[in-house]
Amino acid sequence: MPASTQHVEIDSGLIAKFNQSGPRYTSYPTADRFSGSYGFGSYLEGVAGLRARGGLAPLSLYIHIPFCQSICYYCACNKVITKDRSKAETYLDYLKQEVAMQGRLFAGMNRVEQLHFGGGTPTYLSDEQMDDLLAHLHQWFEFAPDAEGEYSIEIDPRTVDVARIYKLREQGFNRISMGVQDFDPDVQIAVNRVQSEADTRAVIAASRAAGFRSVSIDLIYGLPRQTLCTMEQTLAKVIDCSPDRISIYSYAHMPHLFKPQRRINEDEMPDSATKLDMLALCIKRLTDAGYVYIGMDHFAKPNDELAVAQRLGRLHRNFQGYSTRSETNLVACGVSAISSLGSSYSQNEKTLDAYYERIDEGKLPVARGLQLDNDDLLRRIIIQRLMCNFELSMQSIEQAWPIRFSSYFAPELARLKSFVDDGLVDIDNEWLTVTPKGRLLVRNICMVFDSYLASKPAIGPIPLRYSKTI
């Protein structure tokens, strides 16, 4: 049985000791390990491999819409800021060509049980554009009925009204997530994302009334002008809105990587001790309000599918964060989108020009990727289990893989000793368990099993590539 996740303890001394930059492990190996030697041909081989094995696993589809109307200064997403709607028209032309190519490839093994629209801002598209794109998706893929499928969309409450929310439900979406970040007007000005509380509340209320099965809110802590007091007020309002899921991300200030962040006034940012207090406040307020701590930065109501999946040991982690479906292959369409098929990952071209150019050549726009070897697959399972369940049965790994855990992972177990000594991890004959004190540092614990960090440095030193784990 997975460990109870209700409980997480904050020990600021230990967090300061272990808190270093590290991956978020939405995949293992992480996307910065993808190589240009994996291309279109490798992807075709991957799909052929799935077909040879029967190709019956359901699919997840991810659709990336990169456009936004204005820039949020904290943003680290791959997006295009434009008010020129014709750019979206051109993009949709190409995106539909990619969908058709993928649809042909997956013919006969194309049942979709999960669809996610992310961005950017998917609601940058008009109702008509969305209708057209969805009709095209339905032409090429077979979708599970509404009651069985998870069809989600990220919305920007500043770009939708109540009628649009009803329209999205009518278009088949049954889960909705929205960026709030902070309700405080001063913080909103500091990050150039002014979004009235009334509008956000109206969108949440409309989502419920329209029949969305899960409403999710994103918050960020560590933004300029945030204080414990503003955070307390924002949390009270969020709890009052009663979303099914809440994500609270730590703002990672990396202006050397993300240009918009250069417009953030560093003097107005909370220091790391205050940030930790903010995180502690979030955890306390949300768990007191009945939310379950899922892991990393996610909370959910106890009856939400995410919390239920975790209790059943069926939680999974993919490029969109935590997920309830473990056995699906992820087909991702759109600029920069990342697919995960069987034992491979592939990423599309990251710029619109390169993306269009590849499709004009009549090819899927795969730019890079990775074919996992046996060691990658083994470590991927271990990191998944730790990220999702906070524990790992070493015996179950030995039953599934021809290894003796204590020998194969002897260096890792030695490195874990300092975590054990500090009470962050317990290890007995069968289980490796992340304790309540270790849960906030689960990324650091997973890093011990990341062979690439130890032996094969990628582009740039670790602190420049990854965010701090807290």
Other beta carbons less than 10 A from residue 220's beta carbon: 22
Q: Among residues 68 and 441, whose Cβ is nearest to ligand SF4? A: 68
3-state secondary structure of 393: strand
Find the shortest distance in angstroms from Cβ 253 to ligand SF4.
14
Find the shortest distance in angstroms from Cβ 79 to ligand SF4.
4
Judged by CB under 6 A, does residue 425 bind ligand SF4? no
Taking the mean position of all CA atoms in its chain, how far away is CA 460?
A: 23
DSSP one-letter code for 263? G
Q: Which element (helix H / strand E) includes 417?
A: helix 417-421
Site for ligand SF4, residues 116 to 135, rule: CB under 6 A: 119-121
Q: Which of 113, 156, 304, 450 binds ligand SF4 (CB under 6 A)?
A: 156
Judged by CB under 6 A, does residue 71 bind ligand SF4? yes
> In this chain, which stretch among 3-11, 114-122, 139-147, 231-239 interacts with ligand SF4, using CB under 6 A?
114-122
Q: Which of 79, 301, 368, 385 binds ligand SF4 (CB under 6 A)?
A: 79
DSSP 265-310: -GGGSPPHHHHHHHHHHHHHHHHHTT-EEEETTEEE-TTSHHHHHH
For the record, the structure tokens of 216 come out as: 């999710």
Among 160, 85, 166, 69, CA closest to 129: 85
DSSP one-letter code for 372? -
For the record, the structure tokens of 357 come out as: 């150019």
CA 89 – CA 129 distance, rounded (Å): 8
Q: Among residues 154 and 305, whose Cβ is nearest to ligand SF4? A: 154
> In this chain, which stretch among 74-82, 105-113, 361-369, 382-390 interacts with ligand SF4, using CB under 6 A?
74-82
Q: Among residues 72 and 338, whose Cβ is nearest to ligand SF4? A: 72
Judged by CB under 6 A, does residue 75 bind ligand SF4? yes
Per rule CB under 6 A, count of chain residues that contact ligand SF4: 11
38 in Cβ contact with 344 (< 8 Å): yes
> In this chain, which stretch among 23-31, 67-75, 218-226, 369-377 interacts with ligand SF4, using CB under 6 A?
67-75
Q: Among residues 159 and 171, whose Cβ is nearest to ligand SF4? A: 159
Q: Which of 68, 137, 315, 432 binds ligand SF4 (CB under 6 A)?
A: 68
Is the link from the previous residue into 120 a cis peptide, with omega within 30 of 0?
A: yes
Burial of 192 (0-12, 13-18, 19+ CB in 10 A): middle
What are the two backbone dihedrals, phi and then psi, of residue 20, each rounded to the nearest 5 degrees?
-135, 175
Judged by CB under 6 A, does residue 365 bind ligand SF4? no
CA 267 – CA 290 distance, rounded (Å): 35
Site for ligand SF4, residues 190 to 249, rule: CB under 6 A: none
Q: Among residues 80 and 115, whose Cβ is nearest to ligand SF4? A: 80
> In this chain, which stretch among 72-80, 133-141, 377-385, 447-455 interacts with ligand SF4, using CB under 6 A?
72-80
CA 272 – CA 75 distance, rounded (Å): 20
Q: Among residues 55 and 118, whose Cβ is nearest to ligand SF4? A: 118
Residues 161-200: x where in contact with ligand SF4 by CB under 6 A, - otherwise, as a string: ------------------x---------------------
Give just the sign of the alpha carbon dihedral 447, 17, 256, 62: positive
Residues lying near ligand SF4 in the complex (CB under 6 A) are found at: 68, 71-72, 75, 77, 79, 119-121, 156, 179
